[in-house]
Structure 1
Amino acid sequence: MTEIYLTGILLAFGAFGLGMLSPGPNILAVIGTSMSTDRKAGMALALGIGSGSLLWGMMTLFGLTSLIALYASLMTGIKIAGSLYLLWLGIKSFRSALSAVPITVRGVTGQRSAFGYFRRGLLIQMTNPKAALTWIAVMSLAMGANTPFWVGAAVVTGTTAISMFGHLGYALAFSTTPMVAAYGKARRWIDGGLGCFFCFASYKLITSRT
């Protein structure tokens, strides 16, 4: 029985994990803070962002399961919305791959303690207007109208771990200018690959039967 849901879970992990290869505002804040302040500050900020990912995942999971329980027909609309968002991410990645503009990083300033950076990271993640759409799209890849609750719980657990370790990895590895420069050289190829994956995930979601 577990194998039936494994494909969706792995696809959700893949979409979430590969999305972290294309730095958005959260990741750029971690990189910038590690470079402008120190690794400790960047890691505290990363842990705050990862904790925010856990909260968003839990809210999305309980929200979706409640809606599906009351209105099973809403799953079709949720799938369409998630598929369109993944397609938009794919188009955005392709546009970034075609652009020669280098990435710019900005650190979080004004914090004096590790807890201050953690709190700022949590606030950044929880006030991110795109987070809800991201989580709906990711969760929809694994869940359907009759999917058991443990599948969504597995997605939340796995993606939280990916977020935690991924952001911490950026704080550790990208705390030096040469690492940022090395990523900049490979960025367009990475974005092109991400565009292909997001378009594939969008197709899989819209054509899934569950």
Structure 2
Amino acid sequence: MVSIYILTWLGVMAAQAAPGPNLAAVASVGLAQGRRPALFVVTGVASGMLVWSLATALGLGALIQAFPSSLLLLKLLGGGYLLYLAIKAARATLRAGASSAFMPEARTFSDGEAWRRGFWVLLTNPKAALMWTAVAAFLFGKGLSGLQVFAFGPLGALSGLAIYGGYAWLFSTGVAVRGYARAGRWFEGVFAASFGVMGASLVWSGLREAQR
């Protein structure tokens, strides 16, 4: 079981380190409000990971295996959402003043509001849904019980704390703030490209499955 956990954890960490709505939430708060609110966003994200691990342990993986069309729908919806975020970021790159998912957060958050921001971003993040669905399918496929699948959740939460905590520190430094002020449009362009590739790949994968 340990080797299965390690292999799965490596995949989870790779997914967490990649650009996504979780990173956007942490970066937007860190840029505007500093390290403490950004770290509370991170704790909210980690808490949401525990909820996803519980959901998978209660049978999400088994549901996807029993009804493959639900995974197809999730891919199409998740890919469409990522493409929507990519378009918003691209608009901000091409036109000053456009609304963007990655602009510094204007509204000041209390600690509780920052935690809830991270928590709900994670729960409504299609990338997280796809990741935990894949984790569940893999762990259940290896013969693990529901309790063992749930026990993997804290590992994912710990790596989330470490990875997104590092992002919170980075985006709350003066260097990051000044760098964003000087090259914000380039920053938006990088995120637009990343989300565009991720979203397009999910939609393409879903369409190919639909044609089979």
Common fold, TM-score beyond 0.5?
yes
Residue correspondence of structure 1 range 1-210 to structure 2 within 5 A:
13-14=14-15, 17-19=18-20, 23-24=24-25, 26-34=26-34, 39=35, 41-42=36-37, 44-59=39-54, 61-62=56-57, 64-101=60-97, 103-105=103-105, 106-109=107-110, 117=111, 119-128=112-121, 131-139=124-132, 142=134, 147-149=138-140, 160=157, 163-177=160-174, 179-205=176-202, 206-207=204-205
Q: Which residue number in structure 2 is paired with residue 112 of structure 1?
A: none
Q: State the percentage of identical aligned residues.
A: 20
In the comparison of the two structures, how many residue pairs are matched?
188
1:73–1:147 CA distance, 2 compared to 1 (3 A): farther
1:82–1:172 CA distance, 2 compared to 1 (3 A): closer
- Per-residue CA deviations over 1:147-176 (Å, capped at 9, x if unaligned) read 4448998x9678645642344335434445
Structure-1 separation of matches of 2:169 and 2:193? 28
1:185–1:127 CA distance, 2 compared to 1 (3 A): same
Structure 1: gaps (5+ residues): 110-116
Q: What is the letter of the counterpart of residue 183 of structure 1?
A: Y
1:47–1:137 CA distance, 2 compared to 1 (3 A): closer
Deviation at 1:60, TM superposition (A): 5.5
Structure-1 separation of matches of 2:201 and 2:179? 33
1:124–1:59 CA distance, 2 compared to 1 (3 A): farther
SS of residue matched to 2:97: coil
Structure-2 separation of matches of 1:168 and 1:107? 19
Structure 2: gaps (5+ residues): 143-148
Structure-2 separation of matches of 1:12 and 1:99? 34
Structure-1 separation of matches of 2:201 and 2:162? 27
Q: What is the letter of the counterpart of residue 71 of structure 2?
A: M
TM score, norm. by length of structure 2: 0.61
Note the aligned Cα RMSD (angstroms): 4.3
Structure-2 separation of matches of 1:136 and 1:59? 12
Q: What is the letter of the counterpart of residue 40 of structure 2?
A: L
